[in-house]
Structure formats: C-alpha cells, structure tokens
Amino acid sequence: MRFSGLSGAIAIAPGLGLFSAVSAALLHVTSYAGTLTTLNLALSGTKGLQTLTTSTECGTQPSWLTLRGPVLYCANEAFGKDNGTLASFSVSQNGTLALLDKVDTIGGPVNAVVYGKGRRGLAVADYAGAGLNTFNITNPKALAPVQADVFTLPHPGINPSRQERPHPHQAILDPSGKFLLVPDLGSDLVRVFALNVTTLRYKQSDPLVSAPGSGPRHGTFLVSGNNVFLYVVHELANTIVGYTVNYTTKGLAFAQVYISNTHGLGETPAISGATAGEIAISPDSRFLIISSRGEGTLSVPNFDPSNTTQLPSDPLITFSIDPKTGALAHVQTFAAGGMVPRHFSLNKAGSLVGVALQGSERAVVISRDPATGLLKDFVASVTIAGEVNNVIFNE
C-alpha cells in the first residue's frame, strides 16, 4: 500500500497483528533540511502512514523535539550562527501545528528536557555553543529565559578534532527530579547540576568523569527496586557504561557496574569510524536499546516495492537488563532501516519504534514484541528530504 504525501511516497510493510490494541498514533519528525513534519500512523482500518502537515517555522536546522502535553518544543541547531532557537507549537488533535513563540538559545541546541515543579522548566543542551540554558515554559506563548552558562576547557581533549571545547549533547532529568545531568562529549564529563525545582535555577555539582577520549553522548536512568542505574553511551569510544547512582549530601555518587562495546560483551565491536547514537530503555524497564551509526554492515529490502535493490543499514542493538546488578546481555542486532540512525523512540506500549535515519532521508516505524524485546518488522517508511534527525510519538 502506498500513499502520496508532502514528503514523498510511503511504503507499508506487513506485520501489524501485534498492534490490534492501538488504532493510530501521531509522530513528529525533524530534518536538517528545515522541516518539522507531522505524520499519522494508522494501525486499523485503512492502515498506513500519512503526512499531515509540514512546517518550516522551527528554523533552518531543526534538531530535537520535546513534547509537553499539547505543546511541542522544537530546538533549531542553526549551523554556523552564534545562536540557535527554541520554538513552541500548539498541536491540534489532527496534528496541525501553530507557532506560539520563538526565542534565542546558546549556539547549536541539540537536546532538551522538561523539569521542575509543575514541569514548568525546559533545559537545553547546546553542542556547538558549549553551553546549557534553561527556560520557564509556564506560558508557551512567552518563553522566559532562566539561566545560561557556557563551559570552557583548559586544553583540548585527547581527540582534538572532536574535543577542542566542551560539547554538551543532552540534558537528562534524574528520577528524583532534583538533578540535571548533561553528557559533555568534548569534556569527557557527565556534568551534574542540582536543581531548585521552584525557581528553575541550577547549581553545579560534582561531575561523573568518563574515560579520556570516550566522548559521552547520551544517557538514560533506570529505577529497579531500591537501585538507581545510569547508562551512558559514548560516541567516540563506542562503549556503553552502566553505573549505580547513590544520593549523598554532596549530590550524586556513581559506581561503575558494567562496560562493553556498543554490541555487547563477547560481541564484535563496531567497525572503525562508526559512532554510537541514541540510547533508550523500554517502557517496562526490561530492555535497553542503542543505535550505532556508520556501520552499514546490514541490509534491508528496498522500501520502494518497484525496486529490488537491497539497501544498506546500520543496526539497532537490544540488551536485556539484570534488575539486580544492572548488567546488560545482548539480545538482538536488528537493521535500523537505513543509514545513520541518529535518533529513535518507543511508543508508550513498547510495541513500536520510530527511527530517524539521518543518512537515508528516511524515517521508519518498526514493530516490536514487548514480551521478548525483539524488533520484528518494518511497519512503515516515509521519505523526508534532508538529514532526518529526530522522531517522537504523540499518543
């Protein structure tokens, strides 16, 4: 089945039987070509993926999406400029976007997270600008800056081409909501900040120090019984490191409990030149998934049914999590559907994975069995011009 949308033809693959409980979902997708696209994924009746709207109002290089209720926040990396931007959009039930406000950020915003009492704050990590800024989003029509800091390095890291200065790549909220963590690829640190959840301001705490040259990119927390675990994927070293997290009077204390290459213990490491991408934990907290970019060692059938040429693909790699120790065990390596899976996200049920394929001008949806953690089949694919870099579900 094929649909024609504003962003191109869409191919639909079989294998929808897992999702009878889900009728439809909205997805939002960004591309460095300057577009923010809303898609509708129908899983009953006339099944398929349709483009609903395309907006260029986020900016020239949209890079990250954060959803808070009916409001969508879009960071614009704005390559080569001194500052980026953050835009807020209202999202109607039919997926239509209406721009509410747009403000400047430190240069190169690539990630954001909601925090604070009443979820009134938004923290933005700025890769190119080496900084962190926060906003009060109580009124999405009037985004209000709260705090901004630019970090420095006394000297470049051991990978000077990538670590010439700090490069914050993500902002993560800890499970207590009282700390903000910022993996800094350029500084080999996961910066830690204590939050005032009322004023929305932050104060620097002792950081988590990564191995020299490892380049921490993204991380994710897991609460398991009385344990709190943090997993960090390192872009330059292509490693996953797991830590236990303890709360002390001075902040957070970390103890390493796991380390492996991005394919897992006993597995062949990623090829030279590959870079780790995204990391996420399944909604049931039983599995961890990461993406690896630039491997191209897998292949998938062409999403154009008239073309029999196989397409190269990077992998998504799934691990099971030992809930007591935090150790990971390799479960599956599955084709991401194309090259450079910069970002992926799961729906609330854990039955679907949306993947943004920066190197293939494509976003795909993959079916997943929540019970086994296994990725199963390609549900849909859409061609979107430019480097597709972020995809989220809006259920």
pLDDT tens string, the chain, 395 residues long: the values are 222 222 332 232 333 233 333 457 899 999 999 999 999 997 766 666 889 999 999 999 999 999 999 999 999 999 999 999 999 999 998 889 999 999 999 999 999 999 999 999 999 999 999 999 999 999 999 999 999 999 999 999 999 999 999 999 999 999 999 999 999 999 999 999 999 999 999 999 999 999 999 999 999 999 999 999 999 999 999 999 999 999 999 999 999 999 999 999 999 999 999 999 999 999 999 999 999 999 999 999 999 989 999 999 999 999 999 999 999 999 999 999 999 999 999 999 999 999 999 999 999 999 999 999 999 999 999 999 999 999 999 98
pLDDT value at residue 5? 27
pLDDT value at residue 49? 80
Torsion angles phi and psi, residue 227, rounded to 5: -95, 145
Cα–Cα distance between 104 and 83 in angstroms, integer?
Answer: 6
Antiparallel, parallel or unpaired: β 275-281 and 287-293: antiparallel
The residue type at 67:
L
Global pTM reads 0.93
Q: Tell which residue, 263, 336, 340, has the closest CA to residue 300.
A: 336
Cα–Cα distance between 99 and 208 in angstroms, integer?
Answer: 38
Cα–Cα distance between 183 and 233 in angstroms, integer?
Answer: 9
pLDDT value at residue 253? 98
pLDDT value at residue 158? 96
Cα–Cα distance between 341 and 343 in angstroms, integer?
Answer: 6
* Domain, as residue range, for 78: 2-394
Bridge partners for 357 per DSSP: 341, 362
Contact 360, 291 (CB under 8 A): no
Q: Tell which residue, 368, 226, 378, has the closest CA to residue 302.
A: 378
Q: Give the CATH number of the domain where residue 26 resides.
A: 2.130.10.10
Antiparallel, parallel or unpaired: β 352-357 and 341-346: antiparallel
pLDDT value at residue 136? 98
120: which residues sit within 8 A by CB, 6+ positions away? 136, 137, 138, 200
The domain tally of the chain equals 1
pLDDT value at residue 43? 75
Contact 57, 87 (CB under 8 A): yes
Torsion angles phi and psi, residue 358, rounded to 5: -60, -35
Cα–Cα distance between 350 and 370 in angstroms, integer?
Answer: 6
pLDDT value at residue 23? 56
Q: How many CB atoms lie within 10 A of CB 117?
A: 13
**Burial of 171 per CB tally in 10 Å (0-12, 13-18, 19+):** buried
